[in-house]
């Protein structure tokens, strides 16, 4: 169990921990000289072989609240220390507010220095504390009256903490490992050591972790050794104080300084934009306006940023709203993480909230669709909200992104009914069954509209159909949708053209008549047919009319347009391909010279023909030669072109 102190300066937090553990605090020279705690301190009580109490001593001075925040995340019990002679003081209130914002599950009150007051003052301070707790989630917090100087009440608190630790169930460790570093230092002969409270998952000696620090820097590290709850161990889990001896290329303590994160591979990825559910404290000194600069505290990380309100432009004290934090540096977070905001000068706490989307978008953050999605995210966890999110997810949701967002491995998911996984080139995507069915209907309707708009076209290639009416889909999702539509024969493909089964391109009577006049000329030309200009002159008609018909016949698959205004009948191209195949078998490759000598054409025309055979997939060029593609026969290539 992890216990963190909280409370006003000089209310006896460090003295209380010394009385509980027997270990002196304030080891730093400047702390002893000034008589105050400046940075975090750590102490332990070994209860039995299976139970160790870990204590985090935090500073109480207002100038060191950022250090207090670095140690308060991830603890099981917060011990709010209030001196009987002073009573409730400013930092008492601020620390209590911070504990509430962090969502610390248990709060206990330590009423210290009772040896300095009489019974009346003692009773008055207890009433003052109870009044302070009204309106918070800690109204039932137990209060332990004690004196660290005389020892009165210390044993009772220690016994209660021990009983709580033995009764406390172990935190679930089904997530991936993550730890927010609160100390980093070098140990002679061992190297770099970092400490922090394990927030999720498990870690073992030999594991690989990724450090994520300032400016999005990421390093792969190996766990060389570890301590859990101040004891050597082979493994540690969520809810324990952990010290990790790390190994990495040219690793120094500053590479994993306070505020850095150590995470498993699946949790890699930082962001400079985080969407949160923001609550302003009731006693915040003023309203929060859009784009206010703030200090952001997330785990042990502290960075600057601005608050972009997503619902209105002003947030009054005590109110809640959706907001996006636009940060000056990269941050690591997962859904549900607690965030605390302090003012730009870091003099007082404004409020805080819970992370909804740790990798928020830069655009469209105030659209109705986005606000609806954030409202859904605020209502619960992965399984609770997944079905609702999928109904509005145009491109579905990637399981890896959800695993990263919630730190919930896919092996533990319990997917709701009517959710299907769709394989794409970019991995699996989750869709609601109804949403995927709607997309299938939409793509056939889009193709029908294309046929109505372009009746003379044999169909649309994949890229053109996407631009025509499915541009909102990501390429990988769109490709999976087309492939499924073809598999179930909701549409057909002829060469590169997608079309409905009933769609056929037909020539008009005038076009049929012109084809009858031109076709014999094309066939008679053999390997060297007339160009469009020659055909038009031969028949004494306009070039544009000839060009339009030949292009239409090319789209229908009856002609091949080798270059602009040069068309070959399909049978002629097949015979040319057969020549190339024969030469490749004879000479172990097709050269321009051999192809030219066989056909008796000019070099330029032969290069044009060979490049076209490359284009339609019959051959592949390597150096000065071409080779037949082995993955399919020439006939199959021509039939699908």
Q: In terms of DSSP H, where are the helices of 347-502? A: 368-377, 382-392, 399-406, 433-453, 462-469, 475-487
355 and 377 Cβ atoms separated by less than 8 Å: no
Q: H or E element: which one contains 224?
A: strand 218-228
CA distances from 543 to 522, 538, 546 (A): 15, 11, 5
The alpha carbon of 494 is separated from its chain's Cα centroid by a whole number of angstroms, namely: 39
Q: Which residues are within 8 A (CB) of 247 and not within 5 positions of it... i.e. 6 or more apart? A: 191, 192, 221, 222, 223, 224
Which of the following is catalytic: 61, 66, 451, 639? Answer: 61
Which of the following is catalytic: 5, 8, 14, 39? Answer: 14
Q: Assess whether 61 carries a catalytic annotation.
A: yes
Task: Please state, in angstroms and rounded to a whole number, the distance separating the CA atoms of residues 553 and 560.
Answer: 9
Q: Assess whether 10 carries a catalytic annotation.
A: yes
Phi, psi of 270 (to 5 degrees): -110, 170
Which of the following is catalytic: 5, 10, 237, 572? Answer: 10
* Residue 58: Cβ within 10 Å count: 26
Task: Please state, in angstroms and rounded to a whole number, the distance separating the CA atoms of residues 164 and 177.
Answer: 25
* Residue 549: Cβ within 10 Å count: 23
460 and 448 Cβ atoms separated by less than 8 Å: no
Task: Please state, in angstroms and rounded to a whole number, the distance separating the CA atoms of residues 427 and 425.
Answer: 6
- Terminal Cα-to-Cα distance of the chain (whole angstroms): 69
Round the CA-based radius of gyration of the chain to a whole number and report it.
Answer: 36
Which of the following is catalytic: 8, 11, 13, 255? Answer: 13
* Sign of the CA dihedral running 349, 355, 360, 366: negative
Burial track 407-446 (b if 16+ CB lie within 10 A, e otherwise): bbeeeebebeeebbebebeeeebbbbeebbeebeeebeeb
Q: Assess whether 8 carries a catalytic annotation.
A: no
Half-sphere exposure for 377 (CA within 13 Å, toward CB)? 27
- Active-site residues, by number, are 10, 13-14, 61
């Amino acid at each position: 169990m992890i216990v963190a102190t909280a409370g006003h300066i000089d209310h006896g937090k460090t003295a209380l921990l010394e009385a509980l553990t027997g270990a002196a605090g304030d080891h730093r020279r400047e702390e002893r000289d000034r008589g105050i705690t400046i940075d975090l301190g750590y102490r332990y009580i070994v209860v039995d072989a299976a139970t160790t109490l870990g204590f985090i001593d935090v500073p109480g001075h207002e100038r060191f609240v950022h250090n207090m925040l670095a140690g308060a995340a991830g603890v099981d019990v917060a011990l709010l220390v209030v001196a009987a002679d002073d009573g409730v003081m400013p930092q008492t209130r601020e620390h209590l507010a911070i504990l509430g914002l962090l969502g610390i599950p248990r709060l206990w009150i330590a009423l210290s220095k009772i040896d300095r007051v009489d019974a009346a003052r003692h009773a008055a301070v207890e009433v003052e504390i109870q009044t302070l707790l009204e309106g918070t989630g800690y109204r039932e917090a137990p209060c332990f009256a004690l004196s660290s100087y005389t020892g009165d009440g210390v044993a009772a608190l220690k016994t209660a903490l021990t009983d709580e630790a033995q009764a406390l169930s172990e935190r679930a460790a089904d997530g991936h490992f993550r730890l927010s570093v609160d100390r980093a230092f070098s140990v002679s002969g061992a190297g770099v050591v970092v400490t922090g409270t394990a927030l999720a998952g498990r870690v073992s000696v030999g594991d690989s972790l990724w450090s994520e620090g300032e400016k999005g820097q990421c390093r792969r590290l190996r766990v060389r050794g570890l301590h859990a709850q101040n004891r050597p161990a082979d493994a540690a889990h969520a809810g324990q104080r952990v010290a990790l001896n790390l190994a990495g290329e040219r690793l120094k303590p500053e590479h994993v300084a306070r505020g850095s994160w150590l995470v498993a591979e699946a949790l890699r990825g930082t962001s400079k934009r985080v969407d949160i559910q923001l609550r302003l404290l009731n006693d915040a000194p003023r309203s929060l306006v859009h784009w206010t600069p703030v200090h952001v505290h997330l785990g042990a990380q502290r960075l600057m940023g601005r608050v972009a309100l997503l619902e209105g432009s002003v947030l009054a004290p005590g109110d809640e709203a959706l907001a996006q934090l636009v940060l000056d540096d990269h941050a690591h977070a997962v859904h549900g993480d607690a965030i605390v905001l302090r003012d730009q000068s870091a003099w007082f706490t404004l409020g805080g909230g819970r992370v909804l989307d740790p990798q928020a978008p830069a655009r469209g953050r105030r659209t109705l669709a986005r606000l609806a999605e954030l409202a859904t995210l605020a209502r619960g966890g992965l399984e609770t909200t997944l079905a609702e999110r999928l109904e509005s997810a145009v491109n579905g949701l990637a399981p890896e992104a959800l695993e990263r967002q919630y730190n919930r491995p896919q092996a533990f998911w319990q997917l709701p009914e009517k959710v299907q996984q769709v394989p794409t080139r970019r991995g699996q995507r989750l869709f609601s069954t109804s949403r995927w069915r709607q997309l299938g209907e939409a793509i056939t309707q889009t193709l029908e509209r294309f046929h109505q708009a372009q009746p003379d076209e044999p169909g649309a290639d994949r890229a053109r159909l996407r631009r025509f009416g499915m541009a909102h889909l990501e390429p990988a999702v769109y490709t999976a949708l087309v492939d499924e539509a073809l598999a179930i024969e909701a549409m057909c493909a002829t060469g590169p053209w997608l079309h409905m089964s009933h769609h056929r391109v037909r020539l008009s009577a005038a076009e049929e008549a012109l084809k009858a006049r031109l076709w014999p000329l094309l066939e008679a030309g053999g390997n060297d047919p007339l160009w469009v200009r020659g055909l038009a002159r031969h028949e004494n008609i306009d070039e544009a009319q000839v060009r339009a018909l030949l292009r239409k016949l090319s789209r229908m698959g009856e002609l091949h347009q080798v270059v602009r205004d040069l068309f070959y009948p399909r049978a002629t191209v097949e015979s040319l391909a057969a020549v190339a195949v024969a030469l490749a078998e004879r000479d172990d490759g097709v050269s321009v010279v051999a192809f030219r000598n066989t056909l008796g054409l000019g070099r330029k025309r032969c290069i044009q023909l060979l490049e076209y055979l490359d284009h339609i997939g019959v051959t592949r060029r390597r150096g000065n030669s071409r080779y037949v593609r082995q993955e399919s026969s020439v006939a199959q290539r021509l039939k699908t072109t």
